[in-house]
Every structure is written in structure tokens, then in C-alpha cells.
Amino acid sequence: MAVSLTLGLRKLLPGLIAVAGVSAAPLSGQTKVFPYPGDPSWSPSTVQNGSAVITGANPRHGNGSLALSSGGDLFDWAFYQHFSGATPWGRLGDITHLSFEWYRTQLPYTQPSQPYYPTWPDAPWLAQTPVLRLLLGQQGPNGLVMSELVWEKWYTDGSPTTFNTWVEEDLLPQNFWYNIGGTMYSVSDCSFNNPPSVTPPPAWELLLGTPLGWATGNFTNASASPACDGFNLSDAFVFGISVGVGSNWPDDYKGYADFVHLAFNDQDAVFANFELPETPIPEPGSVILLGTGLAGMAGFAFARKRKKGLRTES
């Protein structure tokens, strides 16, 4: 399962804005951007041995992609995150496009000593892909509440994942689960609990819904209808987005993500393709001129040295 909001978000959101009475600024059409390593608009957030870094190891739509990995420790995780800045991008219910592309590398099992590994591989591990999270802010009784909606393939499609190939993922019709403040998870009876680290038993089943479903209170869980009457995230604003690999996986993991696209009311807010800086290559004519210039300089230096030698001899 993916983990909670990062410390960076906890520090950033309170200083950004008081959500009460605020509305998202109108979005102008944003052109595609290409985050490079060190780009301040995107930043890594890791715990333990997780890693999220832009590399050229498995390029997609260019010369790079976001490489993700974690080890056999259940607390390893890593995300790359992007925040909206001083104003949110838009309301959760106004999202009209949410997608990214992912790739998972098939690796051999190496950690049979993990606590519940003898029953492995179970369905969640087999279904695991890179994870995408929407980082939310909304006004609560005691001020700003930070939360997140998390997409993991297992909660929409529990079949084994596709290995060693890029997959285009449209997330709008898929299930997300909800986490508040990093510790409390919304379960199917609309209460909040901290479920066990292993796949939750039925009484702890996570409350699930599409992004629009969360905004309108229409959830996937059949048991949620009476318990969740009137509950929704209609006042939630999207302050950030992140992609990565979650915690609670018992073995080595390697995956990649790219081409993250988020839009509100058909206006792009995030349209990012992770790349590496390209080294400029001189035009052929420039190479010839450069070679001619160097040759000329070498000839001039040789003639000058020869003349100096002759003057010394005389």
C-alpha cells in the first residue's frame, strides 16, 4: 500500500493558503513540460532504501523516465512530487483528465525471510505497479486538513500486472482510497481507522471511489451506501500530485513512470514527461569550421615556433 503524505507537503500546505473561501485560479492551457534531474518543480521524497530519480535507463517518449525502486524492507518507499504553488490547481470534482504511463520490471524473489512471505506471492504483490497520488487540501473544523487519494491497481484490477512493457493508464474511471494526515484511512463504513499492514480483513475494507465519486459521495463499495450518506470531498482542492512506489511490499521492486497528465475542466494543470538534458551537437558545417580553425591555429603556432628557432640560430 502507498504511504501517507510526505513531510514536504505537511510543511508546504499550511503556508500556501487557508482553504476556506478560496477558489482555484483559472487555468490557462499549459504546454507540455519536461522535468529534468534537479528541476525544482518536481522533487523526490524517499524513506529507507526507496529511490525515485529521473534516468535514461528505460526511456519513454524521449530520452528519460522516472525510475522507481525499493528493497525488501516493508518501509521502503519513494515518490516524485509536484505542488501547485500559491493556489490549488482546481477542485477534485472538476478533474477531466488524469493519466500516466508505467512499467514494472520482473525480478526474482529474494526475500523469503519476510514475516508473511511464506504465503507469497499473493494478489496485491502481483498486481503492484507504480502508484499515483492526488494531494488534497480542504477546510476542516479545526483548520486546513491535508489528505490524499491514492491509486493502486489492486483496488480496481486484482489481476497480475503486466511486466516489462509500458502501459498507458487512464485513472478517471478507476478506484482510489483515502488517507488523512498520514495515519487515518477511510474504510467502507465511512469511519477512519489505521488498518493492519497486511491486506485488511473485510471489517477494515478500504472505502473506494473514482475521483469524481469521492467528490460526489458515490463510492464503489456496496456496503458504503447507507453509512456514507452525505459524506463526500466536494470541497477538496488539488494542491499536488506524486508518482512512485508504495511501502509494504516484501521484496525488491523496480519500475518506471512517465507522461503524467492532469487537467481540470479540460485545461491542463500537469503535463509532464521526465527527460534528461540533451548535449548540443554542432552542425556539420560548424564541425568543419571548427576543424579548419584549429588546423589554422596549429599551423600559425608551428610557423611562429620555427621562425623563433631560426632567429635564435642566427
Tens of pLDDT, residues 265-310: 999 999 999 999 875 555 555 444 445 454 454 454 444 444 444 3
Q: Which of 25-29, 75-79, 186-190 has the highest mean pLDDT?
A: 186-190
What's the pLDDT tens digit per position in 144-197? 788 999 999 989 998 888 999 999 999 999 999 999 877 788 888 888 876 544
Instruction: Identify the DSSP state of 33.
Output: B
Per-residue pLDDT, 210:
98
Residue type, 231: F
Residue 121, preceding peptide bond in cis (omega within 30° of 0):
yes
pLDDT over 50 (residue 75): yes
Distance CA 132, CA 156 (A): 13
Per-residue pLDDT, 294:
46
Buried b (16+ CB within 10 A) or exposed e, 119-143: ebeeebbebbbbbbbbbbbbbeeee
Instruction: Identify the DSSP state of 161.
Output: P
Closest-CA residue to 190 (of 245, 230, 244): 230
Q: What is the CATH number of domain 7-272?
A: 2.60.120
Helical ranges in the chain per DSSP H:
7-16, 123-127, 211-216, 224-227, 284-313
295 to each of 143, 282, 290, 291, 304, how far by Cα in Å? 71, 18, 9, 6, 14
Task: Please give the angle made by the CA atoms of 209, 18 and 24, to the nearest 5 degrees.
Answer: 60
Indicate the helix (H) or strand (E) that contains 66.
Answer: strand 65-70
Distance CA 310, CA 179 (A): 85
Joined together, the cell numbers standing for residue 67 give: 525510475
Task: State mean pLDDT over 243-259.
Answer: 85
